[in-house]
Amino acid sequence: MDVPGGTLVITERPDGEIEMTGPAVIVAEGEIDAEWLATATRA
């Protein structure tokens, strides 16, 4: 899969674990509002 930082390889292992490998490049920065995050993660 091509993403802004390069090519990302996604592998699903037999035990169900997902591994993502590829270059580590900062393509964006920002801040998340703590109140929004608390609300968004309630399930």
The rounded distance, in Å, linking the Cα atoms of 41 and 28 is 22
Which pLDDT does position 11 carry in this prediction?
96
Looking at residue 43, what is its pLDDT? 65
The reported pTM is 0.46
Q: Give the pLDDT score at 9.
A: 94
pLDDT tens, position by position, 1-43: 888 778 999 999 999 999 999 988 888 899 999 999 999 988 6
Phi and psi, residue 13, nearest 5° = -85, 160
Q: Check: CB of residue 22 under 8 Å from CB of residue 11.
A: no
